């Protein structure tokens, strides 16, 4: 469910597939049929009890800023913070998550993943997050699992 609270904020409540998809079609971009996803921002939104994962990345992406969002989830024990499902041949550049607040029942996790094809947007872990392509700084967490970043707050 989406509620527009006025101004520049959007509140998402209880969506099954997660909070936000940041994507670009790698195959279309290679053929020149897409300009890709460049210079995008996702600022000051609220995710309330959305399920599965909060952010899904599928690049190549360039100059993306995810800043000042609030992720509140006290219902999903397996919630994943960020899944990067970018194809191996694609490269993300200057994708930054900063000053977001994650208040979650599940520990925050970020990893490279792949679609499992056995459910609604289900992704499995393929490898650790590539912190050179996806950068994190000054975010706040209630719990974390194998994640460190500059300026991290608990």
Q: Is residue 151 part of a domain?
A: no
Q: Which pLDDT band, with edges at 50, 70 and 90, does 8 fall under?
A: low
Q: Is residue 39 part of a domain?
A: yes
Distance CA 88, CA 42 (A): 24
pLDDT of residue 42: 93
pLDDT tens by residue, 99-109: 999 999 999 99
Distance CA 35, CA 54 (A): 25
- Report residue 5 as tokens: 């609270």
Q: Is residue 52 part of a domain?
A: yes
List, edge to edge, every strand of the sheet that includes 46-48: 2-4, 10-13, 46-48, 70-73, 101-104, 140-141
Mean pLDDT computed over 26-33: 81
Tally of structural domains, the chain: 1
Would you put residue 84 in left (φ > 0), alpha (ψ -120 to 50) or beta?
Answer: beta
Q: Is residue 150 part of a domain?
A: no
Residue 20 is given by DSSP the state E
Neighbours of 77 (CB within 10 A): 10
Q: Is residue 85 part of a domain?
A: yes
User: What predicted TM-score, i.e. pTM, was given to this entire model?
Assistant: 0.85
Is 129 in a helix, a strand, or coil? Answer: coil
Whole domain around residue 124: which residue ranges? 2-141
- Report residue 139 as tokens: 């975010």
pLDDT of residue 53: 87
Mean of pLDDT over the chain: 85
Percentage with pLDDT > 90 across the chain: 50
Percentage with pLDDT > 70 across the chain: 87
């Amino acid at each position: 469910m989406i509620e527009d609270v006025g101004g520049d904020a959007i509140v998402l409540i209880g969506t099954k597939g997660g909070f936000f998809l940041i994507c670009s079609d790698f195959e279309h971009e290679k053929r020149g049929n897409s300009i890709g996803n460049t210079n995008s921002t996702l600022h000051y939104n609220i995710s309330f009890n959305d399920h599965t994962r909060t952010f899904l990345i599928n690049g190549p992406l360039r100059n993306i800023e995810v800043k000042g969002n609030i992720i509140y989830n006290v219902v999903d024990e397996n919630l994943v913070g960020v899944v990067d499902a970018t194809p191996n041949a694609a490269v993300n550049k200057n994708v930054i998550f900063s000053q977001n607040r994650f208040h979650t029942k599940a520990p925050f996790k970020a990893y490279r993943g792949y679609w499992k094809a056995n459910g609604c947007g289900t992704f499995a872990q393929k490898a650790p997050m590539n912190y050179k392509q996806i950068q994190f700084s000054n975010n706040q967490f209630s719990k974390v699992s194998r994640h460190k970043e500059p300026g991290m707050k608990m």
